[in-house]
Structure 1
Amino acid sequence: MGKGYVFASPTGGPLSPNTDYHVWKRLLRSAGVRDSRLHDARHTAATVLLVLGVPDVVVDAIMGWEPGGAARMRARYMHVTGPMLRKVAQQVGDTLWELPKGD
């Protein structure tokens, strides 16, 4: 039995190596989104998963990261945002400076 392609053209043949590049650029234009590299979408996806509080093991599975290097990949791809930092700072402040509740 012959080997097939994972990603193939409509006729079943191989894709041109830059097909994803052209499809990505067309998608960005159609959506009215600023130009960016396709690889940047991986960083965005990882950061969105972080913002959503998705457990690391699930993030690793979604992103296709191997268990041995997953922590390194999370550190590289997941970006802590200003709103995330402010939320945690507020939570810490509320915990430390919570007014005593009335008896």
Structure 2
Amino acid sequence: MEPLKSNPGCISSAKLYKEAKSDHGRISSAKLYNEAKSNHGCISSALLYKQEKSYHGCISSAKLYKQEKSDHGCISSAKLYKQAKSDLGRISSAKHYKKITLSLCP
């Protein structure tokens, strides 16, 4: 997987992966929000991948939303869309899901 080159200010996938790993793949919503805020609202798909990995693979946007409600630590597709919207549409939920599916899922 490659970093989101077209989005200046994004944390590299490698860095996000390392941070998620050191936090046992369970970064809180508050930390995710702060990370995104300090990096111009860009979120790497590696971060979503780490959250999904702890649930045995890639999941749909609907499941991601349900997961957030029950686990209090995952990003819902609604939040992701809202974040992307405030970031001038750089990242759409659809693009994120597609990137995860094509680049990271078996």
Q: Look at both structures and tell me which one has the larger radius of gyration over its CA atoms.
A: 1
Structure 2-normalised TM-score?
0.24
Q: Normalising by the residue count of structure 1, what TM-score does the alignment of the two structures yield?
A: 0.25
